[in-house]
Amino acid sequence: MIPYLIPPLSGLSILVTRPALQSASLNNRLIALGAQVTLLPVIEIISRECQLPGQRYDLLIFISSNAVHHGQAILAAQPQARIAAVGTSTAQALISSGHQVDVTPELSASSEALLNHPLLQTPPARVLIVRGTGGRELLRDTLIARGSQVDVLEVYQRAPVQPETAQLNLIQQQMNDGLIDIVTLTSVEIVHALHGLMGNCLVAGHAGMLAGSSRIAQAARDLGWQGECVLADSPEQSSFISSLTRWHTRARSELIR
C-alpha cells in the first residue's frame, strides 16, 4: 500500500497581500501544498508615463518583473545594451518577452546580491536602472561609487487598494480570532498599505509574517507587529515557498514531540 503523504502546508492559513495580477501563481502553489489561502491585495501596480532617455546605455538593470512589463519601450529603444535582472522572476519575465539576460545574482534575489556579481565589480560606463517609484538607492549609489554614470527610469508606481468593507471586516475578524497563521509581505509598500487598512489587528493579533527581506520585516516591526517572523531570502515565489515549508515542517514536528 502506498502511504498517504500529508501536503507540507496542510493546516496553515495564509493571507496573501500581493497585487491581484501577480498573486495567481503563488496562490495556486500554496493551495497545491495544502494551505488555506485568503486573498487581500493591498496595492496595485499602475503604469507611469515617463520620457525615454535619449542617450545609449551599456547596461539596463531591471529591478522587478513589473519593471520588465512596464519597461518594454526602453528595451526596444536600447537593443545594444546588455541586460541585468535582480532575480530569477525578473529574469524569467525578460526571457519570456524575448530578451537575453546577461547578469543575474548568483545567490539570492536582491540589490546586494546583484552588486556582488563579478561583472558589476567594474561596471559599464553608462547604466540605466528601470524600476518603480520610490525604489532603494543602494544599487544606484554603489554603481556610481564604482565609476558608472547611472540614470534611473521609474516606469510604474504602486497605489493603495481599498477592499470591499465586508471583505475587510471578515479578514479582521479572522485575524482577531487567530484564524490566520501567516501574512505574506513582499515589499515595504505592502507593509504600510496593510497597516493602514488594519493596523490594530496586526499589532494586537498573533499572526506571523512571511517577509521577503529583513528590511521588510523591520518595517513591520517598526509599526508594532509582534507576530513571529518567517524570513525568506527574497520576495520571489520559490524563496517564499521553501522558507514557509521549512518553517511549517519544523513547527509541526515540534507539536508532535
Residue among 134, 147, 143, 156 nearest 219 (CA): 134
Does 33 fall in a domain?
yes
Task: Tell me whether residue 22 is in a domain.
Answer: yes
Residue-wise DSSP of 24-50: HHHHHHHHHTT-EEEE---EEEEE---
Residue in the structure block whose three cell numbers are 530569477: 88
**3: in domain:** no
In tens, the pLDDT along 195-216 reads 999 877 776 667 899 999 899 9
pLDDT, residue 4, reads 53
Q: Do 56 and 149 lie in a common domain?
A: yes
Cα distance between residue 18 and residue 89, in whole Å: 15
User: What domain range is 175 assigned to?
Assistant: 13-42+162-256
The answer to whether position 96 is within a domain reads yes
Looking at the fold, whether 197 and 136 belong to one and the same domain comes out as no
Cα separation, 211 vs 188, whole angstroms: 10
Residues 119 and 170 in one domain: no
Task: Please check whether residue 211 lies inside any domain of the structure.
Answer: yes
Same domain, 38 and 106: no
- Whether residues 92 and 36 fall in one domain: no
In a domain, 241, yes or no: yes
- For residues 121 and 210, membership in a common domain is answered with no
Question: Among 159, 174, 206, which residue terminates a domain?
Answer: 159
Q: Give the pLDDT score at 170.
A: 93
**Inside any domain, residue 7:** no
28 shares a domain with 105: no
**Which letter does DSSP use for residue 98 in this model?**
T
Instruction: Say how far apart CA 194 and CA 113 lie, in whole Å.
Output: 28
Is the same domain home to 184 and 143? no
| 209 vs 63: CA distance, rounded Å | 23
56 and 147 share a domain? yes
- Domain finish residue from 159, 174, 189: 159
Residue 6 lies in a domain: no
Pseudo-torsion of CA 253, 27, 189, 137, nearest 10°?
90
Picking from 141, 159, 177, the residue at the C-terminal end of a domain is 159
Cell of 82: 546588455
Look at the chain and report how many structural domains it folds into: 2
- Which pLDDT does position 217 carry in this prediction? 93
* Residue 60 main-chain phi, psi, to 5 deg: -105, 130
Pair (251, 177) in one structural domain: yes
Q: What is the pLDDT of residue 254?
A: 54
Ranges under pLDDT 50 in the chain: 1, 255-257
Same domain? 187 vs 154:
no
pLDDT at 152: 96
Compute the distance between CA of residue 172 and CA of residue 37 in angstroms, rounded to an integer. Answer: 15
Query: How many residues appear in the chain?
Result: 257
Q: What are phi and psi of 124, to 5 degrees?
A: -60, 165
**What was the pLDDT predicted at 252?**
61
Is residue 49 located within the same domain as residue 134?
Answer: yes
CATH code for position 18: 3.40.50.10090
pLDDT at 3: 52
